[in-house]
């Protein structure tokens, strides 16, 4: 059994991780670390876990060093501090943005953990920087074209995310009374995930000099992302669809739909579903995923499965919540 520890155990991503791990056939939770809640019962914070975990399990103040892998869920800006106290022989998956761009900390070299792009590197790595939720949704919508070196014009993206994308701590823009019956843009062309998106895009098509325009929206729902990407293409719709279907044919969580898609069909799953259309000389790719699963904790478990040579979908065959 894989012995797992979680650092930063009270947030949304940690809660999703715990739910996945307790139903994973080859893993056990060793410790759940929380500096603010240590000594408190875990199921009093993640109340739906009552009966699913040991009801006497408490948040710990310190990491149990007898662990195989640590998931860092402490939030952005905390990972290097936490890594200083983790022995080098323990594998790490960091769910913050801290090591997605600068991928080295002391003796640890972090691989950008998008399995549909880096599966072979992930398998050989002990340190993974889990991608951001917007970044995952957007990169998967354009990756097959990049691999074929078919991008030669500007890329335009709009995407809307639910309130859980802002984390568990309440703020003016994720409070119910503000989000309800409301929608807004934010960080237009400057969102933090844009840097990792650009790193992937320009890393694959190294001579690409076109611009990438990203407009994020806050939605009045709890979880999920829907993204619309369009760019120039001189290929037919059928040719584009074939490129996508061929590329994702051996990736268990990405699907190309022949009919319109919606967010609800991926909620509570590790899927990313794409819908491709064409208008004149523009290819349009709509993508949907659950920001807390394929956009965070589910993808982290997917990476763990690859690192430990398990089936990629182990513990992740989840049923969507349609209603």
Q: Which residues are catalytic?
A: 133
The two beta strands, 27-33 and 2-7, are parallel
Distance CA(283)–CA(269), nearest Å, equals: 27
Task: Give which of 117, 159, 165 is closest to 291, Cα–Cα.
Answer: 165
- Cα 187 to Cα 140, 218, 245: the distances in Å are 21, 10, 32
The sign of the CA dihedral 67, 291, 192, 275 is positive
Query: What's the rounded Cα separation, in Å, for the pair 93 and 300?
Result: 7
Cα torsion angle, 11, 224, 180, 285, sign: positive
Alpha helices in the chain (DSSP H): 12-22, 42-45, 79-83, 115-124, 133-147, 176-179, 193-204, 237-247, 297-307
């Amino acid at each position: 059994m894989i012995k797992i520890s979680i650092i930063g155990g009270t947030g949304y991503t940690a809660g999703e991780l715990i739910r996945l791990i307790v139903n994973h056939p080859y893993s056990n939770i060793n410790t759940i670390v929380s500096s603010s809640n240590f000594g408190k019962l875990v199921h009093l914070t993640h109340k739906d876990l009552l009966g699913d975990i040991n009801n006497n399990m408490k948040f710990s103040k310190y990491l149990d060093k007898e662990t195989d892998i640590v998931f860092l869920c402490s939030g952005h800006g905390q990972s290097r501090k936490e890594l200083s106290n983790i022995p080098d022989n323990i594998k790490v998956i960091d769910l913050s943005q801290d090591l997605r761009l600068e991928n080295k900390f002391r003796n640890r070299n972090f691989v950008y953990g998008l399995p549909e792009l880096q599966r072979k590197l992930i398998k050989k790595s002990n340190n993974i920087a889990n991608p951001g939720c917007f970044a995952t949704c957007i990169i998967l919508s354009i990756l097959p074209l990049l691999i074929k070196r078919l991008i030669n014009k500007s890329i335009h993206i709009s995407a809307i995310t639910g309130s859980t994308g802002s984390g568990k701590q309440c703020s003016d823009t994720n409070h119910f009374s503000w989000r309800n019956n409301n929608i807004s843009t934010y960080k237009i062309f400057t969102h933090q995930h844009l840097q990792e998106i650009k790193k992937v895009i320009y890393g694959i098509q190294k001579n690409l000099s076109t611009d990438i325009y990203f407009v994020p929206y806050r939605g009045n729902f709890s979880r999920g992302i829907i993204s619309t990407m369009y760019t120039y293409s001189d290929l037919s719709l059928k040719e584009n669809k074939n490129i996508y279907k061929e590329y994702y044919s051996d990736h268990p969580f990405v699907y190309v739909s022949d009919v319109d898609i919606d967010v609800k069909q991926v909620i509570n799953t590790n899927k990313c579903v794409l819908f491709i259309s064409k208008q004149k000389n523009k290819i349009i790719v709509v993508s949907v995923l659950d920001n807390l699963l394929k956009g965070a904790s589910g993808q982290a478990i997917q990476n763990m499965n690859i690192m430990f040579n398990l089936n990629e979908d182990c513990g992740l065959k989840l049923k969507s919540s349609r209603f």
